[in-house]
Structure 1
Amino acid sequence: MSKKLNVDGILLFEQPFARVPFENYRKVFRTTQRHVERDLKAVQSTTADLVKQSSSTGVSSEAAIQSIDAMISTVENLKRKLSELHETAGNPTQDVIRERLQHLATVENIPTANDPEFGRWADTRLDRWLVDWALRNGKEKTARMIAKEKHIETLVDIDLFSDIKRIEGALSRHSCTEALAWCSENKTALRKMKSTLEFDLRLQEYIELARAGRRQEAIDYSKKYLVSWQETHLDQIQQALALLAVRPDTSYGRYKRLYDPTRWPNLIKSFRLAIYSLNTLPTEPLLHLSLYAGLASLKLPACYSHATKNVDCPVCDGEAGSGSQGLGKLAEEVPYSHHANSTIVCYITGKIMDADNMPMAFPDNGYVYSRGVCPSDVYFSVSMLTAAKAMEEMSLKNDGMVTCPRSKATCKFSALRRVYIS
């Protein structure tokens, strides 16, 4: 039976896929806009000065020609910069956006999940998610190799994660320069997000000046970079200014926290959260999110009980609760599945118990097994043979007596209680 594709569900994961190149193109546009505004402002200023001079004191033709030549030179330089910017950044970004949108459009034209075209599309998506996972875990070489072998360089965000790695590397070396440059490039977007990353970075640079005992430099720095934040961060600025009178080895709580070296790892986390939010990237790898969706539909309390583990269940893969990095570990992050109607599987036969295969409970311990006969295609060892019989067959071969395979309790078949599924 053919299954119609849930395109909307598939595209839920794809927002970052289209957003990242869009943010790159937006950055190119902003850079272009700054070049245009700065150089045109210079031309307008020169023109205004020339008009003012000619109307008041007069200006010689030679001076006028020099001013006009300077304006022409400025405009030509602007044209060259815009041309270079368009060729080096604009066109490649346009190509990436076009290829990604074409990739997404492909799935909209696939009628069913059984279509071979969807299989190929899904394989490409898995390759993209593997590259995303590798990049997030610092395996850039592996990510580049996968992208090259699968010919998906334009469908993955290697350049973005390279920038993240570069900036985080600088922060780990206690340098805010790279991160502040990134904040400057994305100032408008960060303001819309109400991000305080730039202030946190400026505050950290001030703290390092205070730690080094460079008090005058710290005062000058605060006047230049911190005072402008006083409307929203006045308390933090006042506390930082008082830091100049406190030694770095202080034990006083509020100042000890400012000097705490763990502020640097927190800055790395704040930067990563900001750049992920800007590009609508989830904090978890896309591969994990897709696995979470499947694991959430399978996870049950029984998966964490050694007595009821199922070797075919990815949640019961032996890793759940063990602290290792298996699917069971991922399943710890998701809630238990919810079933509107109960589904009970027989411990002995592995078959679903329903009205045609009535569940029967032992009177003393409450263990439930199916009434039906164990299928002939299920094989067990000799030691498990008695336990591997469903209740009715077991009673026929044991003079009406049945034995619980888990507790070894024995009773008459007639003593078993029927269990009604709600």
Structure 2
Amino acid sequence: MSNGKVNLEGVMLFEQPFARVPFENYRKVFRTSQRVIERELTAVQASSNDLAKRAKLGSPDPEEAVKSIDAMIGRVEGLKRKLSDLQDTVGSSTQDVMRERLQHLMSIEEVYSSKDGDYAQWEEIRLDRWLVDWVLRHGKERSARKIAQERDIERLVDIELFMDIRRIEDALRSRSCAEALAWCSENKSALRKLKSTLEFDLRLQEYIELARTRKTREAIAYSRKHLVSWQDTHITQIQQASALLAFPPTTNCNPYKRLYDPTRWSNLILSFRLAIFNLNTLPSEPLLHLALYGGLSSLKLPTCYDHVTKNVDCPVCDPWLGRLAEEVPFSHHVNSTIVCRMSGRIMDEDNPPMAFPNGYVYSREALEDMATWNDGKVKCPRSGEECDFSKLRKVYIS
């Protein structure tokens, strides 16, 4: 924000996932519809070609021809019902979410000043969304849903997405790849564009579990069915997996001991979360943290880490926010910003610094307040020196 104007470009930097998630959901609806159409119309086309072929060979049996045509009509009618149900149940709700989110983003374009009440309201909704995002990332769906309901922002947050993430991650913690593999199948083309190896990693883990239980024949069959197709890009891992059958789970041979390591399941959870976040352009960190990083990076100074110069009103000096501040660089100030140690307010031309005879400097506003309540006298909180307000000297910053 500069001169009270809303920095739309800066605001929109945080809003890409906000519009992308429902878009991805609608793409899934479209792909599902496309698969249904292709499957049913392919069957109708095959029946039609078969009927035409029999007609060329001679007069087909009228009853069989009518049955074949009725079957084709039934398939088309069934296709219409399926598409209608899909649109009514999923497509319509997804469209509503997209429409409401885009309208929410458009509303900020009509706000020209940060002092506008509409902007304050928009900011409040954004903070609510970030809080829900933070709660969801910590696995507290019930709390997130309650906040969303109370603040009336259910269509502005991604509760369903994070519930899917939680469901698949719970399955992986239970050492089952089925849910994650089903998700990979639904998003195969998108994962291919991202060059994600998640599906191979899941297939390899299922193979390892067969090897762990010494189901050699099943492991070999599984490898032929699911791993061999990846040999152009993962030949070394496939070869190592093939040799795994010769080593028991208790082996101390490092390459194969690592394959049997149970911590691979934790890595799979991290890989899945990274893949689904990338697919929906969601950052790996909570949006609330990213916003705090931006603010903290503009405030962080070396003095924040000196116990003598710590300021109780400084966010970087705060014990909790300070941990986040450790990950951001120090602020680069072309001009120094001087903060009153007494009031925590910035000293500038409207609130100039005033110096005691001993050289200690505080803001005029803080000293005027002190003089008002102390018969015109002021006292330095650090040295204890006391004097009349008139004895203070104005300090000019160059």
TM-score, normalised on structure 1? 0.84
Give, as a single letter, the amino acid of the residue that structure 2 aligns with 1:338: H
* Residue 367 (structure 2) pairs with residue 375 (structure 1): yes
* C-alpha distance in structure 2 between counterparts of 1:372 and 1:44, whole Å: 84
Report how far residue 47 of structure 1 moved.
1.4
Identity of aligned residues (%): 62
Gapped runs of 5+ residues in structure 1?
Answer: 320-325, 363-367, 398-419
Match of 2:138 in 1: 137
Match of 2:170 in 1: 169
User: What per-residue deviation string (whole Å, max 9, x for no partner) do you get for residues 125-144 of structure 1?
Assistant: 11111111110011111101
* C-alpha distance in structure 2 between counterparts of 1:186 and 1:167, whole Å: 14
SS at match of 1:306: coil
Q: 1:289 to 1:42 in 2, by over 3 A?
A: same
Gapped runs of 5+ residues in structure 2?
Answer: none
Q: 1:314 to 1:357 in 2, by over 3 A?
A: closer
Report how far residue 56 of structure 1 moved.
2.9
Match of 2:182 in 1: 181
SS at match of 2:189: helix
Contact 2:340 2:363 in 1 (8 A): no
Match of 1:74 in 2: 75
* C-alpha distance in structure 1 between counterparts of 2:47 and 2:363, whole Å: 96
Matches within 5 A, 1:236-385: 236-317=237-318, 319=319, 326-344=320-338, 352=347, 370=361, 375-378=367-370
Q: 1:283 to 1:51 in 2, by over 3 A?
A: same
Structure 1 vs Structure 2 CA RMSD: 3.0
Report how far residue 36 of structure 1 moved.
0.3
58-67 or 304-313, which deviates more: 58-67
Matches within 5 A, 1:145-160: 145-160=146-161
State how many pairs are aligned: 384
Give, as a single letter, the amino acid of the residue that structure 1 aligns with 2:101: R
Report how far residue 76 of structure 1 moved.
1.3
Match of 1:27 in 2: 28
* C-alpha distance in structure 1 between counterparts of 2:92 and 2:160, whole Å: 16
Matches within 5 A, 1:216-255: 216-255=217-256
Match of 1:323 in 2: none
Q: 1:123 to 1:215 in 2, by over 3 A?
A: same
* Bigger Rg, structure 1 or 2: 1
* C-alpha distance in structure 1 between counterparts of 2:353 and 2:23, whole Å: 57
Q: 1:30 to 1:372 in 2, by over 3 A?
A: closer
* C-alpha distance in structure 2 between counterparts of 1:421 and 1:117, whole Å: 38
Q: 1:387 to 1:248 in 2, by over 3 A?
A: same
Contact 1:348 1:369 in 2 (8 A): no
Contact 1:353 1:359 in 2 (8 A): no
Report how far residue 66 of structure 1 moved.
1.7
Match of 1:405 in 2: none
Report how far residue 69 of structure 1 moved.
1.5
* C-alpha distance in structure 2 between counterparts of 1:220 and 1:58, whole Å: 49
Q: 1:371 to 1:71 in 2, by over 3 A?
A: closer
Contact 1:314 1:327 in 2 (8 A): yes
Q: 1:327 to 1:378 in 2, by over 3 A?
A: farther
| Aligned equivalent of 2:383, options 384, 387, 397 | 387
Matches within 5 A, 1:121-136: 121-136=122-137
User: What per-residue deviation string (whole Å, max 9, x for no partner) do you get for residues 21-61 of structure 1?
Assistant: 00000000000000000111111111112222232365312
* C-alpha distance in structure 2 between counterparts of 1:7 and 1:353, whole Å: 28
Give, as a single letter, the amino acid of the residue that structure 2 aligns with 1:334: V
SS at match of 1:375: helix
Report how far residue 375 of structure 1 moved.
3.1
Match of 1:16 in 2: 17
Q: 1:283 to 1:371 in 2, by over 3 A?
A: closer
Q: 1:125 to 1:56 in 2, by over 3 A?
A: same
* C-alpha distance in structure 2 between counterparts of 1:375 and 1:328, whole Å: 30
User: What per-residue deviation string (whole Å, max 9, x for no partner) do you get for residues 342-390 of structure 1?
Assistant: 3455768977599x96999x9xxxxx9559999354589x997671559
Give, as a single letter, the amino acid of the residue that structure 2 aligns with 1:26: R
Give, as a single letter, the amino acid of the residue that structure 1 aligns with 2:173: S
Contact 2:347 2:363 in 1 (8 A): no
